[in-house]
Structure 1
């Protein structure tokens, strides 16, 4: 449905469709739907709360936790809308000071126009601002005759986890834009590429034009109601925040931001981003009965009644224990299956703390057929991602369990993976180490 034709379509569906399409017409239509919902912190010129001095923002681009909506249990909530851009660097090699200044000015224009996430409001129920990550790939640093410790090429990541290396992202850089308002993302994307000279009442003072070119655009949506509206599968619970029906991101499954921050070297204060585009076989997933899905998502030792229809009864923790990870053979023999959360918990560190932090995830809204899924995690090295992803594999376990009873890995198909270093904020504009 064209962005201007809103007959018979809910606001949620309409905004998700507009974000997937992109462009000025989608932005104008999207603003018309979203502007009345914005808080009174905006004025007539600024539809959304404006930002502040970029120098006041966290040193790490990935420092989002204090600027995310949190639920009653203290779990952070991922913003509902995302736009992801795979970028090719077309500037000078090495970059000139003018190019670096232009990229930084463009990013700071977004930060002046929109607050960082919730603006730090602890009681916020909506993310009325913008959160971003700009990362650079091994391919980019190869062009600069440089390398980053802990940044494994995506081809090697795919090989290490038993997947096809041809699925590696071919980009120099990767930009993630997140907000609870689709029109914020559309306006910022247009501003970055010289298609708007003002956003949210603020002047745009820099552009990516002539420096980066868009090679791929991905869009996604997450959150209660959004997923059920987006995906053509009546089995998805209306209150499910993700397409497989359950919550994720429990406090005990998420490390601290400090734990995923690079400690030393030229990128100290930054992090490593793993970007994945997956497809999910939801039809086969929902052909199972509820007890099977509960066991395969969490652990067969857990009582579905203690989990709740979409995981709400778990509160702040997944309730996965060391026993669930150390007694895999006995559990598999008794129950005939293993759980996803149980398996990936085997990749936790010696203090039973997870090593990768889910940063964004969502149902892809730009996929013509099937159900796509965008998954982004941050970690101190790509080795942590490889270890966690490998723990999902069937052949890592010497147990007599069918592939489709082995967590969720058999329902996922990888379409693309990328690895990127997300520099600290003061080095994000075309680093060369």
Structure 2
């Protein structure tokens, strides 16, 4: 299944459907469809929490399969009404074809539908005479890389990004095929329009996340069979992810939207697993966490990471005492005055694309990109420890970065930078 999603195309989609054995006698897959009245869906594209599976601790669980399509805009400047109608009709067909994630079913243990977001890069908005409102914090990826002292040649140049997630591998594959005219129906729903005349794919990345899947995907004996991510521990604790309100643009024409930072990261797993279990716990969490408290994959912590304000203070003394510092305790210094985090992890996955190693596709959403920059700088600050023993930054390599504005659903079809003035 993971290989089929990574390869993509019609034959891969057929293979996924065969493996999922989820077709009726007519050959149409029997996935739940979206509502007839699409106005019942949230206006926020990024309103996923209500439609995600939650585990026994109340933590949200991201879907297993991820497809990221980087797109180049090929339409008119400014877009015509017909082009905007085409894009909106395409999105509406997708929403009618598949329910939103779990469909909002409380207690759902599997995501039978699709969760997606569509964002526009600064390069797309640069085509217009007007500029984005001043309160939209969307620097170019080059500016973000420069601010973080990372190589600026690793900036993505795409105009838009489509993020597709589902527990069924065939669902993002089917959407991908239908969007670009390779099939006429989607889960039995006829395609009203496609992206063919306005977008073309310039890059495709795939990923997988979830307990039991990583050990199968990555040939590394040290990875626990139940590890949800390649570095061994779960990440979606209730106290490390903010509420969706916290990452939502509050005012202006794009109120209800958010910004998305997407990165392709390399991970030196050999060096990471050369550390013993106690060291890995300390460097992932904090100098106060123990292996027994955390468990093999973080499951013993329940729904909360246990990071406190005291753990994030006076790091130099803690580094002197322990010789190490934790990633989570360093990142906690970028929280707000109420000690709430400001960036929400979305759609992360261990890379499965054939032309990439098993690094990570990391996607976060935040009200403005400064929140991500602050968190990343907190990670990069060694806090008095040497690089190899200060969190996880010494094990990560930035391969690509991109920034996007994810508008609210009513503005997702080729918006101008000043939609309130159009």
Q: CA deviation at 1:44?
A: 6.9
1:343-383 alpha-carbon deviations (Å, 9 max, x no partner)? 10110001100000001111000144632210000000000
Q: CA deviation at 1:47?
A: 2.1
1:383 partnered with 2:406:
no
* More displaced stretch, 356-365 vs 324-333: 324-333
Correspondence for 2:211 among 218, 224, 228: 224
Structure 1 CA distance, aligned partners of 2:238 and 2:40? Answer: 27
**For residue 33 of structure 2, what is the aligned residue in structure 1?**
50
Instruction: Determine helix, strand or coil for the equivalent of 1:140.
Output: helix
Instruction: Determine helix, strand or coil for the equivalent of 1:17.
Output: helix
**For residue 111 of structure 1, what is the aligned residue in structure 2?**
95
Q: CA deviation at 1:86?
A: 0.6
**For residue 6 of structure 2, what is the aligned residue in structure 1?**
20
Instruction: Determine helix, strand or coil for the equivalent of 2:126.
Output: helix
**Where do 1:204-219 residues align within 5 Å?**
204-219=191-206
Instruction: Determine helix, strand or coil for the equivalent of 2:42.
Output: coil
Correspondence for 2:132 among 116, 129, 147: 147
**For residue 79 of structure 2, what is the aligned residue in structure 1?**
95
**For residue 64 of structure 2, what is the aligned residue in structure 1?**
80
Structure 1 CA distance, aligned partners of 2:13 and 2:302? Answer: 37
Moved over 4 A (4+): none
Structure 1 residues 326 and 59: CA distance shift in structure 2, 3 A: same
1:299 partnered with 2:281:
no
Contact 1:64 1:131 in 2 (8 A): yes
Structure 2 CA distance, aligned partners of 1:359 and 1:35? Answer: 29
**Unaligned ranges ≥5, structure 1:** 1-14
**For residue 398 of structure 2, what is the aligned residue in structure 1?**
414
Q: CA deviation at 1:60?
A: 0.3
Q: CA deviation at 1:327?
A: 2.2
Contact 1:30 1:183 in 2 (8 A): yes
Instruction: Determine helix, strand or coil for the equivalent of 1:208.
Output: coil
Contact 1:281 1:371 in 2 (8 A): no
Structure 2 CA distance, aligned partners of 1:427 and 1:238? Answer: 43
Q: TM-score, normalised by structure 1?
A: 0.93
Q: CA deviation at 1:270?
A: 0.3
Structure 1 CA distance, aligned partners of 2:209 and 2:289? Answer: 26
Aligned residues: 413
Structure 2 CA distance, aligned partners of 1:35 and 1:177? Answer: 21
Q: TM-score, normalised by structure 2?
A: 0.96
**For residue 164 of structure 2, what is the aligned residue in structure 1?**
177
Correspondence for 2:55 among 71, 76, 92: 71
Instruction: Determine helix, strand or coil for the equivalent of 1:109.
Output: helix
Contact 1:394 1:403 in 2 (8 A): no
Structure 2 CA distance, aligned partners of 1:359 and 1:98? Answer: 32
Structure 1 residues 367 and 280: CA distance shift in structure 2, 3 A: farther
**For residue 306 of structure 2, what is the aligned residue in structure 1?**
319
**For residue 371 of structure 1, what is the aligned residue in structure 2?**
358
